[in-house]
Amino acid sequence: MAKITSRSPLAPKGFPDLPLVKGVRFATVAAGVRYQGRTDVMLAVLDHGTSVAGVFTKSATRSAPVLDCQAKLGGAPDGPAAILVNSGNSNAFTGHYGQTSVQEITDAVARVSGVASERVFTASTGVIGEPLAHDRIVQKLDELNDGLNVDRIKDAAEAIMTTDTFAKGSGAQIELDGHTVTIAGIAKGSGMIAPDMATMLVYIFTDAIVAQDRLQALLSELADKTFNCITVDSDTSTSDSLMLCATGASGVDAGDSPAFAEALHDVMLDIAHQVVRDGEGATKFVEIHVTGAASDADAKTHGMAIANSPLVKTAVAGEDPNWGRVVMAIGKSGAAADRDLLSIRFGETLVAENGWVSPDYREEDAAAHMKGQSLMIAVDLGLGEGKATVWTCDLTHGYIDINADYRS
Amino acid sequence: MAKITSRSPLAPKGFPDLPLVKGVRFATVAAGVRYQGRTDVMLAVLDHGTSVAGVFTKSATRSAPVLDCQAKLGGAPDGPAAILVNSGNSNAFTGHYGQTSVQEITDAVARVSGVASERVFTASTGVIGEPLAHDRIVQKLDELNDGLNVDRIKDAAEAIMTTDTFAKGSGAQIELDGHTVTIAGIAKGSGMIAPDMATMLVYIFTDAIVAQDRLQALLSELADKTFNCITVDSDTSTSDSLMLCATGASGVDAGDSPAFAEALHDVMLDIAHQVVRDGEGATKFVEIHVTGAASDADAKTHGMAIANSPLVKTAVAGEDPNWGRVVMAIGKSGAAADRDLLSIRFGETLVAENGWVSPDYREEDAAAHMKGQSLMIAVDLGLGEGKATVWTCDLTHGYIDINADYRS
């Protein structure tokens, strides 16, 4: 294994004090899938009638658990549901054996918890291409089921970590129709490490009532504005999974509530930012704000081209307000741009406009901004109303250290 | 400026002994555009009737010289032609001032050399966003013109270097219809360094007779198989320029000659490989060979996804035969792939097949291959007849050193 890095300098102070979500219970166990001396399996069991939505990696080489979840999504929200996640082994690129492992695990969860196997969703994260020792998980299922409790979400966040340097979670409570509706989510991700890959797993729970179709539409829409707007290194895991479960236990239908959608968006964005903040080797958190594009899609294309450019990311690491590299990234993105209409800001400092460096630009102003830990690069294309915001981190020696280390 | 790195470990032993191309003369001078104590301007003057073809960056923010060259290409091949290149300043993102600089330089070249200004092509490479001191070039033009000589192509290769660690050139001679036809080319590129960008400039000369339309078609076709199949870090310069000039001085029409096309291809590929071998921080030269794709375009998409993946490139740097990352890159490329039909080789070693690690795979075999300086990653998709080969280098601490260094 590559070296385990210490807690990211961009990490929040600690795991948040998440509100309890009625209708979902958690348990974790140390099954020894690969790691020793830590929990590595989490089980979440959701009450009868829970709506389940999901968004998964688009990879053409996605893992067996992802394929299984996708096949099950959209089924009738009858009876309880369950999610089982293991860390240490991703069960990816494991041939037909991978499907067998998924089947063995889901059957066992169904057996001990009384959840129909079509409502058991799984995920695996860790080493790729090695058979998953599913027996180790199966033999712990009674223990897991006995330990289920509504207040164990933090334990769940810790059990799914691989090389994350901190456990990730976010929550919110809002008042709707005189009742409290709660949202809480956990995630792991962006601690990629040889021989693993950048897998992001996110599980969000709410006690709101939201019909399944509406829940799926909401999740897909908000994923595009949050998790699909972050990038660490442009690589895509074969296991990325994002699931949203609405237990309905609050008794409040929030399907059409803008306040609920906004609170959910904020929880998702908070978690997405935490994933970037745990990017391998990251020392800077960067918001890239694109306006004036020909369309929102063009704005996102430009934003991601800037966010993924190794030359931009190394300039950020070097605290260099190198706007020429931003111009380069815009130029190569493929989306519409006019060199002479562009303007670029680093923080509050106008750097370039009218196809050239701004006449009032003083490099020391932009350089001062680059010394911070949270940076803003703002680009206006001057073409239309399209806008997008994306988030990334810098590219440092730490990334090379983590990913170029030989497996042992 | 960032630190100048020593000669790339992947560099050839020395500059090749290039054959003389009849009909083109070179001169260089130290104009002090930015660098001191070295030549920084090269002038090439081409005989009456030379056909000129070019391929340029597709960047939407391309530089003033690129725009000027593109506007001039395709004009009648009457009279002589000239190419002037300066290093030290890229004249990119310099607003309308950039166009003025191009005009001043082309007018001056026309004045001293007798070449019509519509047949004077320029390029600039170096710092971005600063006005080009074109006066320093203009005042050296008489000296340049007086120094023109057919045997100075190596001097030309040296004058256009920015942070290249070695001068790049390649040549060939073939017999056609009892006469000798000569090709020789020079290039700079891939030594990107703050605050510059990855600019690749390539100039190839031949004394064959090739009609201008045919020359352009040939150049475009061969560029797709050579320069468009290499990548160092996926970033695209605003100044990339590739020009091919056929003086006709050999008296041999080679426009329809497969042998000429093949020799030209080999010269272009050799130069393209030299650019990769001078990739910033590169310690490994990697050939990625994709077969069995649904189409040639799909094969190239897969190849470039592998070649540009930071996770693959860091694994190569770490001499880690991490085939899971190759699977990941194929999965994210967007081109057709079937996880269970894939096979992957590192060198001669079959690593993965049938959606899983090969039963005979021994990691020590692949690991031994990864210790070499020239590596091969071969992927067969098992879907069709599409194939492509692309070339890249590894991603190392050297890349971060060069690009994260603050400008001073």
Q: What is the pLDDT of residue A193?
A: 37
The enclosing domain of B336 has a CATH number of 3.10.20.340
Type and span of the H or E element at A242: strand A241-246
In a domain, A6, yes or no: no
User: Tokens 């006005």 map to which residue?
Assistant: B131
Which residues of A are annotated as part of the binding site for substrate? 162, 188, 199, 280, 403, 408
Task: Tell if the CB–CB gap between B61 and A330 is shorter than 8 Å.
Answer: yes
Report residue B389: phi and psi, to 5°.
Answer: -130, 135
Chain B residue numbers touching A342 (CB-CB < 8 A): 61
Q: Which member of B62, B310, B315 has the closest CB to residue A331?
A: B62
- For residue B389, the enclosing domain spans 285-404
Task: Please indicate, yes or no, whether residues A199 and A344 belong to a single structural domain of this protein.
Answer: no
Chain A residue numbers touching B318 (CB-CB < 8 A): 194, 403-406
Burial of A355: CB neighbours in 10 Å, binned 0-12, 13-18, 19+: buried
Type and span of the H or E element at A184: strand A179-188
Q: Measured between alpha carbons, how far is residue B137 from residues B19, B119, B131, B321, B335 in Å? A: 28, 18, 13, 50, 48
Which chain A residue has the Cα nearest residue B370?
A406
Q: What is the pLDDT of residue A190?
A: 67
User: Tokens 């099950």 map to which residue?
Assistant: A72
Task: Please indicate, yes or no, whether residues A231 and A309 belong to a single structural domain of this protein.
Answer: no
Task: Tell if the CB–CB gap between A314 and B354 is shorter than 8 Å.
Answer: no
Residue A94 in tokens: 């494991």
Q: What is the pLDDT of residues A228-272, one digit of tens each?
A: 888 877 677 788 899 999 999 999 999 999 999 999 999 999 999
Q: Which of B339, B364, B395 to mutate to test the interface with A (most CBs of A within 10 A)?
A: B339
Find the angle CA(A314)-CA(A317)-CA(A322) to the nearest 5 degrees: 65
| Distance, CA of B36 to CA of B28 (rounded, Å) | 14
How far does A144 lie from chain B, in Å, by closest CA? 31
Type and span of the H or E element at A400: helix A397-404
Q: What is the pLDDT of residue B5?
A: 57
Which amino acid appears at position B322 of this protein?
N
**Are residues B267 and B168 in contact, defined by beta-carbon separation less than 8 angstroms?**
no
Task: Please indicate, yes or no, whether residues A253 and A320 belong to a single structural domain of this protein.
Answer: no
Task: Please indicate, yes or no, whether residues B364 and B223 belong to a single structural domain of this protein.
Answer: no
**Are residues B338 and B344 in contact, defined by beta-carbon separation less than 8 angstroms?**
no
Which of B228, B253, B275 delimits the end of a domain?
B275
Strands A41-46 and A24-29, bridge-based pairing: antiparallel
Q: Which of B3, B99, B332, B353 to mutate to test the interface with A (most CBs of A within 10 A)?
A: B332
Is B322 annotated as a binding-site member?
Answer: no
In a domain, A14, yes or no: no
Given the residues B199, B247, B283, B349, select the one marked as catalytic.
B199
Task: Please indicate, yes or no, whether residues B212 and B353 belong to a single structural domain of this protein.
Answer: no
User: Tokens 């601690």 map to which residue?
Assistant: A191
Task: Please indicate, yes or no, whether residues A324 and A268 belong to a single structural domain of this protein.
Answer: no
| Distance, CA of B119 to CA of B117 (rounded, Å) | 5
Type and span of the H or E element at B64: helix B64-72
Residue A63: HSE in the Cβ half-sphere, 13 Å Cα cutoff: 34
How far does A254 lie from chain B, in Å, by closest CA? 35
Which amino acid appears at position B140 of this protein?
K
In a domain, A147, yes or no: yes
How far does A117 lie from chain B, in Å, by closest CA? 25
| Distance, CA of B378 to CA of B79 (rounded, Å) | 48
- B358-364: Cβ within 8 A, 24+ apart: B363/B321
Task: Tell if the CB–CB gap between B235 and A332 is shorter than 8 Å.
Answer: yes
- Bond from prior residue into B258 cis (ω within 30 degrees of 0): no
Residue B24 in tokens: 């083109």
Is B22 annotated as a binding-site member?
Answer: no
Is B408 annotated as a binding-site member?
Answer: yes
Which of A247, A277, A307 delimits the end of a domain?
A277
| Distance, CA of B233 to CA of B235 (rounded, Å) | 6
Q: Which member of B96, B337, B403 has the closest CB to residue A60?
A: B337
Which of A277, A306, A334 delimits the end of a domain?
A277
User: Tokens 């595009």 map to which residue?
Assistant: A224
Q: What is the pLDDT of residue B190?
A: 67
Q: What is the pLDDT of residue A234?
A: 67
Q: Which of A62, A100, A232, A235 to mutate to test the interface with B (most CBs of B within 10 A)?
A: A235
Count the neighbouring beta carbons within 10 Å of the beta carbon of residue A294: 17
Q: Which of A140, A288, A238 has its CA nearest to residue B325?
A: A238
| Distance, CA of A39 to CA of A64 (rounded, Å) | 22
Type and span of the H or E element at B173: strand B168-176
Q: Which member of A95, A329, A403 has the closest CB to residue B315?
A: A403
Alpha carbon of residue A105 to chain centroid: 24
| Distance, CA of A131 to CA of A60 (rounded, Å) | 20
Task: Tell if the CB–CB gap between A194 and B317 is shorter than 8 Å.
Answer: no
In a domain, B326, yes or no: yes
Task: Tell if the CB–CB gap between A355 and B323 is shorter than 8 Å.
Answer: no
Q: Which residues of chain A have pLDDT under 50?
A: 1-3, 192-197, 406-408
The predicted model scores a pTM of 0.87
In a domain, B354, yes or no: yes
Task: Please indicate, yes or no, whether residues B39 and B96 belong to a single structural domain of this protein.
Answer: yes
- B325-328: Cβ within 8 A, 24+ apart: B325/A197, B325/A235, B326/B377, B326/B379, B327/A61, B327/A92, B327/A93, B327/A128, B327/A129, B327/A238, B327/B352, B328/A59, B328/A61, B328/A197, B328/A235, B328/A236, B328/A237, B328/A238
Task: Please indicate, yes or no, whether residues A271 and A293 belong to a single structural domain of this protein.
Answer: no
- Bond from prior residue into A195 cis (ω within 30 degrees of 0): yes
Task: Please indicate, yes or no, whether residues B297 and B388 belong to a single structural domain of this protein.
Answer: yes
User: Tokens 């590595």 map to which residue?
Assistant: A40
**Are residues B23 and B288 in contact, defined by beta-carbon separation less than 8 angstroms?**
no
Task: Please indicate, yes or no, whether residues B54 and B127 belong to a single structural domain of this protein.
Answer: yes
**Are residues A398 and A282 in contact, defined by beta-carbon separation less than 8 angstroms?**
yes
DSSP letter at B341 equals: G
Q: Which of A357, A197, A249, A61 has its CA nearest to residue B334?
A: A61
**Are residues B64 and B106 in contact, defined by beta-carbon separation less than 8 angstroms?**
no
> Which amino acids of A are annotated catalytic?
199
**Are residues A75 and A119 in contact, defined by beta-carbon separation less than 8 angstroms?**
yes
| Distance, CA of A56 to CA of A243 (rounded, Å) | 8
Four-residue CA torsion sign, B337, B341, B345, B351: positive
Type and span of the H or E element at A398: helix A397-404
Count how many domains chain A has: 2
Q: Which parts of A209-322 fold into alpha helices (H)?
A: 212-225, 258-277, 296-308, 310-317
Task: Please indicate, yes or no, whether residues A300 and A170 belong to a single structural domain of this protein.
Answer: no
Chain B residue numbers touching A395 (CB-CB < 8 A): 310, 400, 404
Find the angle CA(B190)-CA(B194)-CA(B195) to the nearest 5 degrees: 110
Which amino acid appears at position B122 of this protein?
T
| Distance, CA of A154 to CA of A122 (rounded, Å) | 19
Task: Please indicate, yes or no, whether residues B266 and B340 belong to a single structural domain of this protein.
Answer: no
The enclosing domain of B185 has a CATH number of 3.60.70.12
In a domain, B8, yes or no: no
Count the neighbouring beta carbons within 10 Å of the beta carbon of residue A78: 12
Q: Which member of B60, B311, B356 has the closest CB to residue A330?
A: B60
DSSP letter at A360 equals: T
| Distance, CA of A148 to CA of A169 (rounded, Å) | 19
Is B225 annotated as a binding-site member?
Answer: no
In a domain, B4, yes or no: no
In a domain, B13, yes or no: no
Interface pTM (ipTM) of the complex?
0.83
Which chain A residue has the Cα nearest residue B355?
A95
**Are residues A252 and A177 in contact, defined by beta-carbon separation less than 8 angstroms?**
yes
Q: Which residues of chain B have pLDDT under 70?
A: 1-5, 190-198, 234, 405-408
How far does A357 lie from chain B, in Å, by closest CA? 6
**Are residues A82 and A44 in contact, defined by beta-carbon separation less than 8 angstroms?**
yes
How far does A277 lie from chain B, in Å, by closest CA? 18
Q: Which of B291, B320, B226, B238 has its CA nearest to residue B264?
A: B226
Task: Tell if the CB–CB gap between B60 and A336 is shorter than 8 Å.
Answer: yes
Task: Tell if the CB–CB gap between A357 and B317 is shorter than 8 Å.
Answer: no
How far does B66 lie from chain A, in Å, by closest CA? 13
Is B50 considered catalytic here? no
